[in-house]
Structure 1
């Protein structure tokens, strides 16, 4: 694949995946606001509609699209995401300063804003033609995604009905395992460049994959139980699917890292 087509392909893939995530974050925020917060509800609805429009536009392009058209799509998406990030940080400040009461956890709002910041960085890298060195990418992506996955386990635990004792325990255990992996990845981050050997990175990838696969299986069970009305919880069906897709995203990324390390020189 030529460089131009590679840029188009990667851009569309990022915008379609993360743009949908941003759209759903706006929806979840809107659902969390109370009836006496019409302005916040209106703002969240605006972002939902904005990202829905971006999603529709992105699927109209093919991998053979003109590069400049995709650059413009990326910049439009970047601007929309930056405004959503600012809105999420504003909402977080309102919650933590007790200026509003909402049904969204502060950690969820922070979580959503971290994903928005990550998405903006990915768009910026694509438009500038920056490809992060593989050793840096392996550690950085693990630090980011392991924290996201641990958050998901915590959200599930706290959205389950207290009577779902076994599932709550399982979610808490997964959260603990993911936190331990996260702390390990942060340690490796501090040890760079000495920690950036093929063997160290391969072990990080393998350990992450084992635990994230367990989390994926757990999320899939939760999603199925929600859809079949077999679960006592306040988990929205779309949220269950949303979290499952992000786990699959991380697993796919780990597979790509492993393939790249295997193809590279041994050390």
Structure 2
């Protein structure tokens, strides 16, 4: 049974990361439609603003509660997030709520013993419920969109794999919130198997998206992205083998950690290059920062898993 303290802290930490991810998914979908599909644009925009509102409420609750490990990991905001948002808003005309980024960047961690736990727990439970309702709706939207794209009923500049990719992330977020609502105690061993299988695949796909969105003249970056794609494909297979107990999970964790450090560095350089207009591509700058934060989130988890395995 999850304690009240852990329930509050883990819920808010999860939303600081994933609510931002979901709002950005909605933004990427929104800017990928043609004018013909204005109804899809409006629906994606509504989800984006819904997650904006959720994230705002999470930020107001998180001061002095979330851990310094999360705030300093680079998964909440990065040194590039604000500029990536400004550039992406300029390119698309979509008004991105940069005040949320400033609010997250200013969050401080500390003990929260002074808070009324019972009242705060009720508020967090309500936030979790809202997150699940919003995410359930976004899952339905993404599922329907993927079906329409695969049956050639609609065109979008987003790859079908990208839509499937962000659909899986939404389902994963929903599952994690559901576990918290049920006050399930975290099983580190189970988490390691599930998270490494999930995130290694995500890292592989990020590499392939980057490869495919770079200008054809960016040979070196394309080759690097391609190599990361192959490396994380192999790590995904190894994580699945570990689930079947064919190989020890500790070996996969060590390899995944080193690979994730490398890809995070690659993504950081790439995001900076996009923001500074030094890379030729059709990558919206916020997508670069988005993938960088996901790598940082995964790296923090891997460090937890490795410590638990020692």
What TM-score do the two structures reach when normalised by structure 1? 0.93
Other structure's SS at 1:36 match: helix
- 1:257 corresponds in structure 2 to 305
1:22-33 pair list within 5 angstroms: 22-33=22-33
Within the candidate set 110, 113, 128, 2:167 is matched to: 113
- 2:289 corresponds in structure 1 to 241
- 1:47 corresponds in structure 2 to 47
Cα distance in structure 2, aligned partners of 1:157 and 1:41: 26
Return the offset for 1:60: 1.4
Cα distance in structure 2, aligned partners of 1:37 and 1:190: 44
Return the offset for 1:203: 1.4
- 2:142 corresponds in structure 1 to 88
RMSD between aligned residues? 1.3
Return the offset for 1:132: 4.0
Cα distance in structure 2, aligned partners of 1:202 and 1:189: 12
Return the offset for 1:133: 2.3
Other structure's SS at 2:277 match: coil
* CA-to-aligned-CA distance 1:78-98 (integer Å, 9 cap, x gap): 010010011001110010000
Contact preservation (8 Å) 2:239, 2:249: no
Within the candidate set 233, 257, 275, 1:179 is matched to: 233
Cα distance in structure 2, aligned partners of 1:145 and 1:131: 21
- 2:213 corresponds in structure 1 to 159
Cα distance in structure 2, aligned partners of 1:91 and 1:68: 35
- 1:147 corresponds in structure 2 to 201
Contact preservation (8 Å) 2:200, 2:235: yes
Does 2:258 align with 1:204? no
- 2:274 corresponds in structure 1 to 226
Return the offset for 1:213: 1.1
What TM-score do the two structures reach when normalised by structure 2? 0.80
How many residues are matched? 255
Cα distance in structure 2, aligned partners of 1:178 and 1:50: 33
26-35 or 180-189, larger mean C-alpha shift: 180-189
* CA-to-aligned-CA distance 1:5-30 (integer Å, 9 cap, x gap): 22111100111110000000000000
* CA-to-aligned-CA distance 1:157-196 (integer Å, 9 cap, x gap): 00000010111011001100000010111112223xx75x
Does 2:149 align with 1:101? no
Other structure's SS at 1:37 match: helix
Does 2:105 align with 1:57? no
Q: Could you list the runs of 5+ residues in structure 1 that have no partner in the other structure?
A: 263-267
- 1:19 corresponds in structure 2 to 19
Within the candidate set 203, 210, 213, 2:261 is matched to: 213
- 1:10 corresponds in structure 2 to 10
- 2:111 corresponds in structure 1 to none
114-123 or 134-143, larger mean C-alpha shift: 134-143
Contact preservation (8 Å) 2:274, 2:285: yes
Q: Could you list the runs of 5+ residues in structure 2 that have no partner in the other structure?
A: 66-114
